[in-house]
């Protein structure tokens, strides 16, 4: 019986995701920073009253808002993470998950053909969502890398610039390399910092400059094939100063490719959304770094992430 209940809960998991996506899209949590009735909420949103009441009651049941008489209001978890403008806001990554929902809906076809389905895309919520995720970990990830020998750095595929900001705050002159549409967003987050420079292009084909003590490659490898990643590592190595380092951050997955669950699920996400990406094990990534001629490979596991650093011998 227990097995059946777990199975049904697995099959029905989509319901709570969908309710959260819709509430987030409608910005219900911005509205419920003060107690409001379903009628007032529907009037403000321009939504149907019966539908809004049912959605709000489900959000109460899910533990995201509370209901006192006829009035609904955020619980602390929603005020902290789901109300826009809060420092630890998660609404962009939730919105990105909603985009992924559309692409994942073609998983049957993706598995039959081996081809991705990236028909839905929202670059803005993807890149801002990266900030939602890394805002919690930038400090301890940079601590783990260590900066004693670093005055210049490049953040390869730096996204919104969360790590570049952390590096810059610690006195490093950092170049954030990314595609033009991402750089436009990164400038909003990191544009005010004098020691952050922006470089636009495709890191697989364009020049990335040189003279770096550290090249940070965070959450980039999983979108590409092993051959593309080795090519990127070789290119990045050439951009380093003598004794410079590459630091890689990726989601952790064991050699068996099934543990932890988050890593295995993320691999499916890459199957759905990229031509040749997936989650890579530490051994796979270390072998690429060694193949590219880097030495002194060190690894640290930090929650769901793994950091691998390797040095370009002089
Ligand atoms: C998953 S995000 C990671 C962002 C950031 N490094 C982090 O860890 O939060 C991957 C980033 O790499 C960038 N990117 C992917 N392929 C790229 C390419 N060929 N050239 C330049 N940027 C690329 C994307 O635009 C995106 O900003």
**36-88 residue pLDDT tens:** 999 999 999 999 999 999 999 999 999 999 999 999 999 999 999 999 999 99
Find out whether the beta carbon of 161 lies less than 6 Å from any atom of ligand 1. no
Same structural domain for residues 130 and 222? Answer: yes
Mean pLDDT of the chain: 96
How many angstroms separate the CA atoms of 144 and 305, rounded?
Answer: 11
Highest mean pLDDT pick, 1-10, 92-101, 293-302:
92-101
Residue 192, pLDDT above cutoff 90: no
Mean pLDDT calculated for residue range 16-23: 98
Give dist(CA 254, CA 264) in Å, integer. Answer: 9
CB of 204 sitting under 6 A from ligand 1: yes
Burial of 185 (0-12, 13-18, 19+ CB in 10 A): buried
**Boundary-marking domain end, from 32, 64, 85:** 85
- Indicate if 138 and 247 belong to the same structural domain: yes
Domains of the chain: total: 2
In a domain, 114, yes or no: no
Q: How confident is the model at residue 297 (pLDDT cuts 50, 70, 90)?
A: confident
Q: Atom 18 (ligand 1): residue with closest C-alpha?
A: 202
Same domain, 61 and 157: no
- Out of 56, 85, 114, pick the residue that ends a domain: 85
Same domain, 243 and 151: yes
Residues 244 and 166 in one domain: yes
| Residues 158 and 273 reside in one and the same domain | yes
Could you tell me the distance, in angstroms and rounded to a whole number, from the CA of residue 157 to the centre of ligand 1?
3
pLDDT in tens, 167-182: 999 999 999 999 999 9
Q: What distance in angstroms lies between residue 170's CA and the mean position of ligand 1's atoms?
A: 22
**Cβ neighbours for 141, distance < 8 A, ≥ 6 positions apart:** 134, 163, 166, 218, 249, 302, 305, 307
Residues 80 and 182 grouped into a single domain: no
Q: What is the rounded average pLDDT of the residues 10-35?
A: 98
157 lies in the same domain as 298: yes
Q: pLDDT value at position 117?
A: 95
Please tell me if the CB atom of residue 220 comes closer than 6 angstroms to any atom of ligand 1: yes
pLDDT higher than threshold 80 for residue 290? yes
* Model pLDDT, residue 303: 87
2-6, 9-13, 50-54: least confident range: 2-6
Residue 285 is assigned to a structural domain of this protein = yes
Residue 106 lies in a domain: no
Out of 85, 113, 145, pick the residue that ends a domain. Answer: 85
Does residue 203 sit within a domain? yes
CB 203 less than 6 A from any atom of ligand 1: yes
Question: Does the residue 104 lie in any domain?
Answer: no
Q: Within a domain: residue 227?
A: yes
The parent domain of residue 285 ranges over: 125-311
| The pLDDT value given to residue 2 | 79
Per-residue pLDDT at 306 exceeds 80: yes
Whether residue 216 contacts residue 153, with contact meaning beta carbons closer than 8 Å, is answered with yes
pLDDT tens digits along 215-274: 999 999 999 999 999 999 999 999 999 999 999 999 999 999 999 999 999 999 999 999
203 & 288 share domain:
yes
What's the pTM value of the predicted model, to 2 decimals? 0.95
Furthest C-alpha separation in the chain: 71
* CA-to-CA dists, residue 236 to 11, 209, 217, 282, angstroms: 44, 9, 9, 19
Q: How far apart are CA 5 and CA 20, in angstroms?
A: 22
Q: Does the pLDDT of residue 314 top 80, yes or no?
A: no
Q: Determine the average pLDDT of the residues in 276-300.
A: 94
Summarised one tens digit per residue, pLDDT across range 122-139 is 999 999 999 999 999 999
Q: Are residues 61 and 171 in the same domain?
A: no
Buried b (16+ CB within 10 A) or exposed e, 255-291: eeeeeeeebbebbebbbbbeeebbbbbbebbbebbee
**Does residue 159's CB lie within 6 angstroms of at least one atom of ligand 1?**
yes
Ligand 1 geometric centre to CA of 154 (Å)? 13
Answer whether residue 154 is part of any domain.
yes
User: Is 101 a domain residue?
Assistant: no
55 CA → ligand 1 middle, Å: 35
Residue 43: give its domain's CATH number: 1.10.10.10
- Indicate if 169 and 280 belong to the same structural domain: yes
Model confidence at 292, pLDDT cuts 50, 70, 90, reads very high
CATH number of the CATH domain containing 250: 3.40.50.150
* Per-residue confidence (pLDDT) for residue 259, from 0 to 100: 96
Q: What is the mean pLDDT of residues 290-297?
A: 90
Q: Are residues 132 and 218 in the same domain?
A: yes
Q: Report the atom number in ligand 1 closest to the C-alpha of 133.
A: 9
| Confidence grade of residue 1 (pLDDT, cut at 50, 70, 90) | low
Could you tell me if the CB of 178 is within 6 A of ligand 1?
A: yes
Ligand 1 center to 227 CA (angstroms): 17
C-alpha to C-alpha distance for 36 and 32, rounded to whole angstroms: 6
């Amino acid at each position: 019986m227990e097995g059946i209940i777990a199975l049904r809960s697995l099959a029905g998991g989509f319901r709570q995701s969908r309710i959260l996506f819709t509430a987030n899209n409608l910005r219900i949590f911005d509205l419920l920073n003060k107690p409001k009735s379903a009628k007032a909420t529907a009037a403000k949103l321009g939504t149907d009253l019966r539908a809004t009441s049912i959605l709000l009651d489900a959000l109460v049941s899910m533990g995201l808002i509370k209901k006192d008489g006829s009035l609904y209001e955020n619980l602390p978890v929603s005020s902290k993470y789901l109300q826009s403008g809060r420092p630890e806001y998660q609404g962009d990554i939730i919105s990105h998950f909603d985009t992924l929902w559309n692409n994942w809906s073609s998983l049957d076809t993706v598995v039959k053909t081996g081809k991705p389905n990236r028909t839905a895309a929202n670059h803005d919520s993807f890149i801002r969502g990266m900030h939602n995720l890394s805002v919690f970990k930038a400090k301890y990830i940079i601590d783990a890398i260590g900066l004693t020998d670093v005055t210049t750095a490049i953040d390869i595929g730096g996204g919104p610039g969360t790590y570049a900001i952390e590096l810059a705050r610690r006195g490093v002159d950092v170049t954030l390399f990314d595609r033009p549409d991402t750089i436009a967003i990164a400038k909003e987050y990191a544009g005010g910092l004098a020691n952050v420079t922006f470089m636009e292009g495709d890191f697989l084909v364009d020049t990335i400059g040189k003279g770096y003590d550290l090249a940070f490659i965070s959450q980039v490898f999983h979108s590409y094939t092993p051959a593309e990643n080795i090519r990127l590592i070789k290119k990045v190595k050439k951009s380093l100063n003598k004794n410079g380092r590459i630091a890689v951050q990726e989601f952790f997955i064991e050699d068996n490719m099934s543990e932890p669950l988050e890593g295995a699920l993320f691999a499916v996400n890459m199957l759905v959304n990229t031509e040749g990406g997936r989650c890579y094990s530490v051994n796979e990534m270390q072998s690429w770094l060694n193949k590219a001629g880097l030495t002194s490979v060190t690894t640290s596991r930090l929650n769901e992430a793994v950091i691998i650093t390797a040095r370009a011998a002089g």
